[in-house]
Amino acid sequence: MKPIKRVAIIFNPYSEESLRLSDEIAGWLTARSIQVWRGVSHEGRAQHAVDHTDLVLALGGDGTVLRAARLAIPAGVPVLPVALGRLNFMAELEPATLYEGLEDMLAGRFWLDSRTLVEATVQRADGITVAPILALNEIIVARGDINRTVLVDVEIYDARLTTYHADGVIVASATGSTAYALAAGGPIIDPRSTALVLVPVAAHLTNVPSLVLHEDAVVTLTLQSRHPAGFSADGHDHIALHEGDRVIVQRSQRCCTFARVYPQSTFYARMMQRLRRE
C-alpha cells in the first residue's frame, strides 16, 4: 500500500464538533507534511478534490460516511470514518482514538476493507432506461406521500417470488444490513460479505420474510400499483415511479474501500454497543 501523502477531510457543516475537529486535524496533518483538502461533500464533488488524494477522512455519522463514499468510490480512494454522529455502524475511529489511529495510518499500519455495492437500473414502462445507480447501503422502492401501500412484484433471477403489499421493498448490501434494512426487520450480515438482502417494509398479507440472497442474484422490482411511489439509493437519487416501471438490482462490480486499523473482529466486539447506541 502506498504511503499517505494527501488527505481529504469531509466534515458535517451542521455539527460544531465536526467543524472544530476537522480544522484541528487539518493542522495536525499539515504539521506532518501531509497535503490536506478540507470541505463538505458537495464542495469535493465540484472541485474533484478527492481524485488526487490517498485517503478520505469522514467526520460524522453514517450519513456523512455515505456522502464521503459517493466521492471516494469513483476515485478509488479509501474512506476512514470517524464516529461523531448518532449512528456510527461504519465508523473505525472515535475522537478519543483518532490521533493514535492516524499515527498508525501514516506509519502504514492499516488494512483495506472492500465492501460490496448494489447497482440499480430503472426501466420505465415506456421503454426508457435510467442509467445504473450505485449504492453502498440500499436501494429502496417505496410509497409516495399518500398513506397507501404499494404493490411491488418481486422476481429473483427470472423466477417470480411474490407481490408485496407494503410501504416499500429494500435490496441492501451487507454494509446496508445495519441501516434501514435492520430497522425494517432484516438480518444483520457480516459487512465483508458479498451477499444481498431483500427486506419488505411493513408488508401486509404475505408469508415471505426477509431473505439473504446469493451475491450473483438479480432482483427485479416491478411497481404494480397506481399510487405514487419512488426510488432512492442511499437516501439520494430520488426518482418517481409509475405503474409498470421496473427496478433491476444486483451486486455491482465496483466496490467501496474503507481504511481500517483495528482487526476484523471489531465489528462483532462493537455490535451490541452500537445497537444500544451507547
State which residues of the chain have pLDDT below 70. 1, 43-47, 276-278
Q: What's the confidence (pLDDT) of residue 188?
A: 94
Q: What's the confidence (pLDDT) of residue 41?
A: 74
Q: What's the confidence (pLDDT) of residue 190?
A: 94
> Which of 51, 54, 62, 113 is an active site residue?
62
pTM over 0.85: yes
Q: What's the confidence (pLDDT) of residue 46?
A: 53
Q: What's the confidence (pLDDT) of residue 3?
A: 87
Q: What is the 3-state secondary structure (H, E, C) of the chain?
A: CCCCCEEEEEECCCCHHHHHHHHHHHHHHHCCCCEEEEECHHHHHHHCHHHHCCEEEEEECHHHHHHHHHHHHHHCCCEEEEECCCCCCCCCECHHHHHHHHHHHHCCCCEEEEEEEEEEEEECCCCCEEEEEEECCEEEEEECCCCCCEEEEEEECCEEEEEEEECEEEEECCHHHHCHHHHCCCCCCCCCCCCEEEEEECCECCCCCCEEECCCCEEEEEECCCCCEEEEECCEEEEEECCCCEEEEEEEEEEEEEEECCCCCHHHHHHHHHHCCC
Q: What's the confidence (pLDDT) of residue 25?
A: 97
Q: What's the confidence (pLDDT) of residue 246?
A: 97
62: annotated active-site residue? yes
